[in-house]
Amino acid sequence: MTTVRTPEELGLLRQRLVDGRDPDQPRVSVCCGTGCRVNGSIDVIEAFRRELDGQRLNGDIGLVGTGCHGFCEKGPVVVLKPSGVFYQRVGVDDVPEIVAETMVNGAVIDRLTYTDPATDKKIVYERDVPFYQKQKRLVLDLNGDIDPTNIEDYIVFNGYAALSKALLQMKPEEVIEEVVHSGLRGRGGAGFPAGVKWRLCREAKGDVKYIICNADEGDPGAYMDRSIMEGNPHRVLEGMIIGAWAIGAHQGYVYIRNEYPLAVENLRIAIEQAGEYGFLGRNILGSGFDFSIQIRPGSGAFVCGEETALMASIEDRIGEPRPRPPYPAVSGLWGKPTNINNVETWANVPLVICRGAEWYSGIGTDKSKGTKIFSVVGNINNTGLVEVPMGATLSEVIYDIGGGIPGGKRCKAVQLGGPSGGCVPSEHFDVPIDYESLQKLGAIMGSGGMVVCDEDTCMVEFARFFMDFVQQESCGKCVPCRLGTRAMLEVLTRITQGQGKEGDIAYLEELGEQIGQSSLCGLGQTAPNPVLSTIRYFRDEYEAHILDSRCPSHVCKPLIQYSIDAEKCTGCGRCLRKCPAEAISGAKKEPHVIDQEKCIKCETCLEVCKFDAVVVE
C-alpha cells in the first residue's frame, strides 16, 4: 500500500509508475463494460489469460480489462496496443489466433476487423473507425486504456493531478471561479452553471455541508453515467473531492442506481483505493482537508433523480420531492447546505482544473461549453456512447458517427432527454447540439439519451409509452402530476386503440400545458413534453389515428390487420401450423387466408413466412 501524503509524493509515485511501464509493450485491451459483458467479454478475457499463460507470454504481453469503449454495437471489442488494431465481435475461439497471428506475428486477421458499412472498406485501426474518428473524447478518453479497478492506471494518466493542484495551489474561491469561467453547465438535464451552484453552496451559512453525486441515471436508453463510473470511477471521485474542497464539505454521497451492479462495484473499489492512497480521508495530500464518500444505492424510483427526492431517499424516507426554495444549496440533506451534480458534471471537473478554464471554454459554443456524451440507441447502426463537442449537429451524431438507420429505412426523429424531453424530427437535424437550440425545438439536452426512431415508429404510441412511464413513476404527491398524467395517458391509450375523438389533441395540449405549469417538481413539469413535441411535429399521425382510424406506421394493433397476399403465398402451410389462434386456413399449395375474427395479431405468421406473403395494413 502506498499512501500519498504530499503533492511531491504523488509526483514521485507517478514517475515510478510511468518508469515501470514500457509504452511499447504489447497489450491487449478487452472491453468489459456492461454491453460487452453481455456479449461474452468476460469469457474472452479469461481465454486471453489462459492463452498467454499457456504460451508463456504473460510476461511479454499485457492484458487489461477496461470499462466501456463505447462501441457497444460491435462487442466484445478488443484493441491491441500500441498498434491500435481493432477487433470486433471477438469470441473465445478467436483468441488463440489473435495471440499467435497478430500479437506474435503481427498479421491482421481480416474477419475480425470492422467493415465500414458506408464504404464497405475494411478498417484495421481503432483510430480510423468513423465511429471514433469524429468524436472528441475528453471525459471518456481513458476508458479504453485503464483498468478501472486499479488506481495506479489512473495515476499514470495524470490522475489526481487536478486534485493536487486545487488543494495545494488554489484557494477554494479560486477553484469556484475557475469552474464558473470554464462555462461548465450541469450535465443532468437542466444545464445550470456548475460554478454558480457551487458558489451558492459555499456562501450558504452552516458548518456542515454535503455534496452529492447524482448517479441515479433513470432515463431509459441513457447509460453515459454508468459507463463513466464503470470505466473511470476515479475521475468522478477526483471531481467530487475538488468540489468538496471548493464548497467546504467533508462528506459526500454517491446516489447510484441499483440496476448498475458493475458501476456500484467499480465505484466501491475506487473509493477504497482512493482511501488507501490518501486521496480520501484525513488531511488529503497534506492540505489539512478531510473528506469521505459513501455510496447510497437507489432502489428503483425514477423520481429520485430529482434532487429533493434524491435527498429524501438518502435520508431513508419515501423519495418525494418538496417545493423549492429553499434550494439544496441553502437547505439540503438533513437541512444542511448541499451541492448536487450528476456523474458527467463531476467527471468534467478534473479537466477544467488541470487544463484550465480558458482551454475548456474554447470547446463548444457560445453558451454551451465542453463536450457532451450521448448514448445513441434505438434504430441506429452504431449503438454506443458518443462524446462530441457542444455545437456538433444531430446529423453528425446520427449519420457520421452513428452510421445511420439499419435496413435502409428512413429516420423519422430522435428523442432527446427521455421522459422529460421531446423529439426532434429529421428536418431539423442540422441544428447544433446546445442547451438553447434544443430547447427552441421543444426538446432538451437532457442527460444524454438519444433514441433514434425509424419510419416504423408510431409517434402516438411512442408518446403513450413515455406517458405510461411517467404516470407509473409519478410519486403521487402533487395533484397535477398524479391525476394529470393519468388523464393524458387515458386519452393517448384511447387514441392508440382507435377510439380517439375529435378534440382530443386540443385537450392533450391544454392538459399538458397545465401539468407543466402547476406540478411540484421536474418530473411533472416536464412529463407532457414527449406528447407536446410529437403533437407539434407529427400532428398528422395523431389525426390519422383519430379521424381515419389508421396507424400510418402499422403499430397500433386495433388499427391494423394481417392478411395474406394470394400472389406471394405458396400454400406451404407453415403459418397455418404455427398460428396459435388457428386463424389460418387453406389447402396445401393453395393461397391461405387469415380469419380476422380469430386473429389475435400476434404476428407469428409474419415471422414464419418465408415468402413475405403476410401483409400488414
Distinct helix (H) and strand (E) counts, the chain = 24, 19
Is 302 within 8 Å of 419 (Cβ atoms)? yes
Smallest gap from Cβ 318 to another protein, in A, equals 5
- Contacts for 166 with CB less than 8 Å, ≥ 6 apart: 175, 242, 245, 246, 353
User: Which CB atom, from 218 or from 425, has the smaller least distance to another protein?
Assistant: 218
CB 327 within 8 A of CB 200: yes
Nearest distance, CB of residue 17 and another protein, angstroms: 32
CA-nearest of 509, 520, 498, 615 to 320 is 520
The C-alpha angle 182, 188, 191, rounded to 5 degrees, equals: 50
Whole-number minimum distance, CB 587 to another protein, in Å?
26
Smallest distance, Å, CB 90 to another protein?
Answer: 15
CB of 154 to another protein, least distance (A): 23
Distance CA 286, CA 167 (A): 9
Closer of 194 and 475 to another protein (Cβ): 475
**Shortest Å, Cβ 208 to another protein:** 12
Taking the complex as a whole, the smallest distance from the CB of residue 18 to another protein amounts, in Å, to 34
Q: Which is nearer to another protein, 145 or 454 (CB)?
A: 454
Please say which residue, 595 or 607, places its beta carbon nearer to another protein.
607
Whichever of 8 and 607 has its CB closer to another protein, that residue is 607
Looking at 240-320, which runs of residues are DSSP E strands?
251-256, 292-297
User: Torsions phi, psi of 68, nearest 5?
Assistant: -65, 125
Of 368 and 382, which has the nearer Cβ to another protein? 382
Beta-strand ranges (E) seen in 281-356 are 292-297, 338-342
* Residue 391 phi, psi dihedral angles, 5° rounding: 100, -10
CA neighbor of 507 nearest in space, from 481, 535, 530: 535
Nearer to another protein, 155 or 495 (CB): 495
- Torsions phi, psi of 561, nearest 5? -140, 155
- Choose between 27 and 187: whose C-beta lies nearer to another protein: 187
Identity of the residue, 38 or 547, whose beta carbon is nearer to another protein in the bound complex: 38
Q: Is the dihedral of CA 34, 89, 140, 155 positive or negative?
A: positive
CA-based diameter of the chain, in Å?
87
Concatenate the DSSP letters of all residues of 231-242 into one string.
Answer: H-HHHHHHHHHH
Which amino acid makes up residue 54?
Answer: G
For 125, other C-beta atoms within 10 Å of its C-beta total 16
Comparing CB distances to another protein, the nearer of 313 and 437 is 313
Q: CB of residue 292 vs another protein: minimum separation in angstroms?
A: 13
Q: Provide, rounded to whole angstroms, the least separation between the CB of residue 87 and another protein.
A: 17
Q: With respect to another protein, which residue has the nearer C-beta, 405 or 508?
A: 405
Nearer to another protein, 242 or 492 (CB): 492
CA-closest candidate to residue 212, choices 340, 29, 55: 340
Least CB distance from residue 607 to another protein, whole Å? 5
Three-class SS of 366-394: CCCECEEEEEEEECCCCCEEEEEECCCEH
Of residues 73 and 153, the one with the C-beta less far from another protein? 73
How large is the angle between the packed helices 194-203 and 343-355, nearest 10 degrees? 90
CB of 5 to another protein, least distance (A): 29
Q: How far is CA 294 from CA 13, 229, 331, 615, in A?
A: 26, 15, 20, 57
Residues 6 or more apart whose CB falls under 8 angstroms from that of 162 comprise: 238, 242, 349, 350, 351, 352, 353, 354
Helix, strand or coil, per DSSP, at residue 85: strand
Q: Which residues bind another protein (CB under 8 A)?
A: 34-35, 38-39, 72-73, 75, 218-223, 226, 258-260, 296-302, 313-319, 334, 375, 377-379, 383-384, 415, 418, 449, 451-454, 457, 462, 465-466, 469, 475, 580, 602-604, 607-608
Measure the CA–CA gap between 433 and 388, rounded to whole angstroms.
9
Q: Which amino acid is at 533?
A: S
What's the min distance (Å) between Cβ of 515 and another protein?
Answer: 21
Residue 202 or 296: the one with the smaller Cβ distance to another protein is 296
Nearer to another protein, 357 or 475 (CB): 475
| Beta pairing class for 338-342 and 371-378 | unpaired
In the complex, minimum distance from the CB of residue 447 to another protein, in angstroms, rounded to a whole number = 12
Minimal distance, residue 135 CB to another protein, in Å: 16
Secondary structure element (H or E) that encloses residue 419, with its range: none
- Cβ at position 315, least distance to another protein in Å: 6
Which residues, 6+ apart, have CB-to-CB distance to 336 below 8 Å? 206, 208, 209, 210
